Amino acid sequence: NAGVTQTPKFQVLKTGQSMTLQCAQDMNHNSMYWYRQDPGMGLRLIYYSASEGTTDKGEVPNGYNVSRLNKREFSLRLESAAPSQTSVYFCASSDGGTLTDTQYFGPGTRLTVL
Amino acid sequence: QKEVEQDPGPLSVPEGAIVSLNCTYSNSAFQYFMWYRQYSRKGPELLMYTYSSGNKEDGRFTAQVDKSSKYISLFIRDSQPSDSATYLCAMSDPGSARQLTFGSGTQLTVLP
């Protein structure tokens, strides 16, 4: 099992460009999450999907959109990238049955917006 | 003020030392407390989780929660160079719909 995979691993964008970060999991998990990690800020939840067909905002959703394409895949889109969105983005998944479900993280995407 | 405060370090210890990592928090509704380990350029992985107050032990790792002081700790006994990583605390409350609040992480280096 690959677990949680993310593409691309690295990306450099210019201000105003758009891009989609892809995430897939092969653990048959119901819930999926997108986080960003910035120095001194810890991980902050951008959006999550409790189950296929549903998405909800997290702590820092502004400037992002998400799509739960199917049970396996959860994408994060930046429509018009800004330098403030320079960060490391992590996707995670969990079985979703209880609040204490273990979240399994992908390896991350390092995004730089110039 | 952040909801969860964690000393970022860096913390360097010799191999075999006992390591103490700590977080404080302000939200009294938090009931679930977790420690994640993150190796350089990798995603976080769950080490331990505890519910409410008390201790939990798993091998060389012990997690402690003191809800009265809003303080949680992770102890690592007989530390190894392979323990070198960033340690993140995380916590949640029953009403948060699976949202975890993370500390900023403490970077630990165990020197051989």
Which pLDDT tens digits describe chain B residue by residue (112 residues)? 678 999 888 999 999 999 999 999 999 989 889 999 999 999 999 999 888 788 999 999 999 999 999 999 999 999 999 999 999 999 988 776 667 889 999 999 999 9
Q: Return the half-sphere exposure (C-beta side, CA atoms, 13 A cut-off) of residue A4.
A: 28
Question: Digits of tens for pLDDT over chain A (114 positions)?
Answer: 789 999 999 999 999 999 999 999 999 999 999 999 998 888 999 999 988 889 999 989 999 999 998 999 999 999 999 999 999 999 999 987 665 678 899 999 999 999
Torsional sign, CA B92, B32, B30, A86? negative
Interface contact A56, partner B, CB < 8 A: yes
CB contacts of B98 in chain A (<8 Å) are 31, 33, 48, 50, 94, 96, 99, 101
The structure tokens 């029953």 sit at B94
Dig out the tokens for B71 from the structure. 């303080």
Interface test with A, best of B52, B100, B106 (most A CBs within 10 A): B100
Strands (E), A15-80: 19-25, 31-38, 42-49, 56-57, 64-68, 74-78
Question: Taking CA atoms, what residue in B is nearest to A32?
Answer: B98
Characterize A60-82 residue by residue with b for buried, 16 or more Cβ atoms within 10 angstroms of its Cβ, and e for exposed. Answer: bbeebebebeebbbbbbebeebe
CB contacts of B94 in chain A (<8 Å) are 99
Check CB contact under 8 Å for B100 and A43.
yes
Torsional sign, CA B22, A58, A66, A10? negative
- pLDDT score for A97: 61
The alpha-carbon gap from A81 to the nearest alpha carbon of chain B, in Å, equals 23
